[in-house]
Amino acid sequence: MSASRPEPAPEKTPGDSVPGGGAALTRARAELIRARAEVDGAESAGASAASAADGIVDVEGRVVAEIPELQRAYDRGIFHGLVGTSSAMRRVFEKIVLYGRADSHVLITGETGTGKELVARALHLESPRAAKPFVALNCSSLNEELFESELFGHEKGSFTGAMRTHRGRFERAEGGSLFLDEIGDMPLRMQTKLLRVLEEEVFERVGGEVELPIDVRIFAATNVSLGRAIELGAFRADLYHRVAVLPIKVPPLRERLEDLTALVAHFLEALNRRYRRHVRALTPEALRLLEEYHWPGNVRELRNVLERVYVETPGEVIGARSLGEWVRERDAFAAGAWNVHSLLERERPAVWNLPMQGGRGPAPAGLLPSPSMPPPREEHVLDAEARVVEPGRAAEAARAAQRSSRRPHHLDPEQIRDAMRRANGNATHAAELLGCHKTTLYRALLRYGIAPEALRDEEQRS
């Protein structure tokens, strides 16, 4: 690598690709920030923020109008491999475009399997560095000795086995972007070295004596709370503030279930290309069954489940029966609660609330409804000729799913009361105990007239 620092490319302003220049977009972004500040101020003062929130919607609409890529993404329901039409994903798309055209470091947070690397790649493609390399490194995959060499490179003969000079990830990403996945697992000593490199924009190879300049933008990702890691002394606060200039939070799948139909259609289309088959769709019963799951592995788990049943199903339509084996496995593992301590502390929840057989013979082991649960309804009978969602129509399917009303989750009032007592009135924890989505539990509480506060007081009195 040359010791002289390369001339940086002219910085693109966010409006360079927008007809009329960047001035309009800059004004729209300023209005958006000001409107959000008004909402924060109204909420902190205890006043109603409804009018300010309306202003945000209006300003965001104008921001979208100024960025053609966003409008196209909203129409298609897919953006650089990220699928979704929910408001949560639209906010992610908006941040990708706005942050991509900046040059500050970005911290991407979210649970495992939510698509953080896809977000990082999208940021790179939306940046002025798109023609330069995108290099990724998983910070939890290497021990401390190998980590330094892999990140910064090493000189020939610098240690036993160093038979040649090795270019590290920083050098390979020169002029482009470096994605540091699971940065929360980076050893503390390496955090100190990384902080110095980011502050001074120079580094040395292992065993080297020459400082080499770098021009690299960092995209860091983590599925742990770095704030908590800082409190425990496992992560440096100064490094956190250096990499978290622009934050993006990727929502878990359970918080955007309206995107599930579009995701299924997207993955079926990809599987059809890969296996050279034509599986048309999942039946509505199969889709409903997927909606009832808590998805601790998020989109990655959904993709793996779909590939499994795709391979195991010879026909053109995947029904709920095809998911039977997977359902029994998840039910045996207390699906929706992957915390080992919670498994030891409580009984298995009633996770799967839709009968698999719809009255056509006995249900598979682990799926028998409890005596207090209502019998299967006729609309649960499986029918391969029922309405199906065709792959390749993800955005249209998602909008149709949002318009359609979902059938209520069949929860017994006593089951709900018992779960709410065990959760001390916490609806989120109670939903995990029941194996249903939080919004499903809220609807059931309203339907049966159950007041969480009364249950909490009753538990405290006992």
CA distance linking residue 224 with residue 114, whole number of Å: 13
Per-residue DSSP letters for 124-162? Answer: HHTSTTTTS-EEEEETTSS-HHHHHHHHHEE-TTSSTT-
pLDDT tens over the chain, length 462 residues: 444 444 444 444 333 433 333 444 445 454 554 544 444 444 444 444 344 334 433 444 555 555 666 667 666 788 999 999 999 999 999 999 999 999 999 999 999 999 999 999 999 999 999 999 999 999 988 887 788 888 998 788 677 777 778 888 999 999 999 999 999 999 999 999 999 999 999 988 888 888 899 999 999 999 999 998 999 899 999 999 999 999 999 999 999 999 999 999 999 999 999 999 999 999 999 999 999 899 999 999 999 999 999 999 999 999 999 999 998 888 776 544 434 343 334 333 333 333 333 333 333 333 333 333 333 333 333 333 333 444 445 445 444 444 443 334 457 788 888 888 888 778 777 887 887 777 678 777 877 778 776 666 666 666
Nearest Cα to 94, choosing from 67, 134, 124, 130?
67
The enclosing H or E element of 99 equals helix 87-100
Rounded to whole angstroms, how far apart are CA atoms 191 and 193?
5
- In SS3 terms, 254-283 reads as HHCHHHHHHHHHHHHHHHHHHHCCCCCEEC
Tell me the sheet residues that pair with 202: 213
The full length of the chain comes to 462
Domains and CATH numbers, the chain: 67-251 (3.40.50.300), 256-407 (1.10.8.60)
The torsion defined by the Cα of 18, 22, 28 and 34, in degrees rounded to 10, comes to: 150
Q: Whose CA is closest to 116, among 85, 142, 82?
A: 82
Of 381, 140, 397, 143, residue with least CA distance to 265 = 397
**Shortest CA distance to 180 belongs to which of 192, 191, 188, 189?**
191
* CA 146/CA 168 separation, integer angstroms: 11
Within 13 Å and on the Cβ side, how many CA atoms surround 70?
24
Contact (Cβ atoms closer than 8 angstroms) between residue 37 and residue 31? no
The structure's pTM equals 0.62
Contact between 427 and 442 (Cβ < 8 Å)? yes
- Beta bridge partners, 34, equal none
Residue 38 tokens read as 């008004």
Distance between CA 1 and CA 445 in Å, rounded? 64
- At 349, list the tokens: 């929840």
Nearest one of 291, 288, 292 to 386, comparing CA atoms: 288
